[in-house]
Structure 1
Amino acid sequence: MSGIDTATLWTVIIGLGLGSFALRFAFIGIVGSRKMPEWLMRHLRYTAVSIIPALVAPLVVWPAPTGGEPSLIHLIAACTTLAVGYFTKNVFAAMGSGALLLVGYISLFG
């Protein structure tokens, strides 16, 4: 590792570990035995649905293989994945079709 001394590295690792523990303990240890309000449970249902697009969108709009330039191949694969997922309501079919289309287009068009 260049540029980071051992003390700084361990300080960051321990700090992140304590922060992660505190965040989990807040929900499991403190709130775990109490009933959560209905409005909060309704909002928490959408957490998983919002994480995947937030992780995938930057990779589609600014793909690393093109140096961050938008790529028509990536956009077509993403739109196909979205359409297959919308019409079939099957996550695996959507991911599989998008992956196959992306690999196929990249192998055909580079």
Structure 2
Amino acid sequence: MTSTAPALIDPVILWTAIIGLAVGSFALRFAFIGIVGGRAMPDWLMRHLRYTAVAIIPALVAPLVAWPAPTGGTPSLPHVAVAALTLAVGYLTKNVLLAMGTGAGSFVLLLYVSG
């Protein structure tokens, strides 16, 4: 029985990636805060920016519901049921925090009950 150590990444490649990501992140933030920060944004752009948060949360959650890691990527009833309940609470109450709290609580409760 042979044991193989995990492959280590080259430190030069690692630090190049870290520095590149840091510079890119700074440049993106500076473009909005440093260059455009003192100017008024057009109304059409402000209307579109209002929907940014509404688009990001589902984009982060949808893969976790469609391909949950604990089941090996197979959709599971608890994940879909909790997603449907969270969507219903969010739609009916128009309260993001209540919807997220309901989703988290119901998921923990459902997993506790189902074993």
From 28, 44, 50, give the equivalent of 1:45: 50
- Cα distance in 1 between the residues matched to 2:97 and 2:36: 34
Alpha-carbon shift at residue 22 of structure 1 (Å) = 0.6
Pairing 1:1-110 to 2, within 5 Å after superposition: 2-110=7-115
One-letter code of the match for 1:12?
A
User: Which stretch shows the higher mean deviation, 15-24 or 84-93?
Assistant: 84-93
- Cα distance in 2 between the residues matched to 1:26 and 1:85: 33
Taking structure 2 as the reference length, what is the TM-score of the superposition? Answer: 0.87
One-letter code of the match for 2:39?
R
CA RMSD in angstroms, aligned pairs only? 1.4
Instruction: Say how many residue pairs are matched.
Output: 110
Q: Which runs of 5+ in 2 are unaligned?
A: 1-5
- Cα distance in 2 between the residues matched to 1:91 and 1:35: 28
% identity of equivalent residues: 69
Alpha-carbon shift at residue 108 of structure 1 (Å) = 2.3
